[in-house]
Amino acid sequence: HKFALINFAKRQENDLALNTHFDDRLNRFSFMEEFDFVYTTLGFRSQDTSIRSLVISSTTPGEGKSTVAINLAMAVAARGKKVLLVNADLRSSNEIYDRIVSKSDMGLSDYLALKRIDVHSLIRPSLVDRHLFVMTSGWVTNGSFRLIASEKMKNLMQQLQEDFDLVIYDTSSLI
């Protein structure tokens, strides 16, 4: 299975490493166009097989990886692709997801840590696009690396790739 890893690093305030400098004149439409461009570029770079999963990461917290993950997911969903956005940051809760999906107490960590949870019951339609679905992180846990590195996670990733055109994993920062 083919993965793409995108690591966006903040170079300056409000400047993500997207080969574009954002200034005050930037409007929402052109901002979303940049994410559409990222998706298109990724597609052309892997013409032999389509990319079905993306991992969005950053070196430290606060660099905007969740913003990138959400906006990229929205840009791809706007093309009519069935997209799942997975909040795979099991080290901290992220309130930004409350803006795009109804509140959910259970999520990825619960699926990985507990037995007999139907993964489809944890996937919620987004509030912003009918093609965008979200799985929240669930309960924050200290053993997150062990859960993410598990065989159950590997099997889940394979299953989700079959159910969606694109799965985007918003992971915890590296440090």
- Would you list the DSSP string of 107-175? -HHHHHHSSS--GGGGEEE-SS-TTEEEE---S--TTHHHHHTSHHHHHHHHHHHHH-SEEEEEEPP--
DSSP class of 7: E
Pairwise pLDDT comparison (130 vs 60), residue with the higher score: 130
What number is the average pLDDT over the span 126-152?
89
pTM, two decimal places = 0.77
Q: For a pLDDT cut of 90, what percent of the chain falls above it?
A: 37
Pairwise pLDDT comparison (25 vs 109), residue with the higher score: 109
Q: What is the pLDDT of residue 162?
A: 95
Side by side, the strands of the sheet bearing 83-88 are: 3-7, 53-57, 166-171, 83-88, 132-135, 123-125
Pairwise pLDDT comparison (31 vs 35), residue with the higher score: 35
pLDDT at 35 over 80: no
pLDDT at 165 over 90: yes
3-state secondary structure at position 41: helix
Distance, in Å, from the CA atom of 45 to the CA atom of 6, rounded to the nearest integer, reads 13
Q: What is the pLDDT of residue 32?
A: 64
pLDDT at 43 over 90: no
Helix, strand, coil shares of the chain, percent, nearest 5, are 35, 20, 45
Band the pLDDT of 49: cuts 50, 70, 90: low
pLDDT at 142 over 70: yes
Q: What is the pLDDT of residue 5?
A: 46
The token duo for 113 is 């840590």
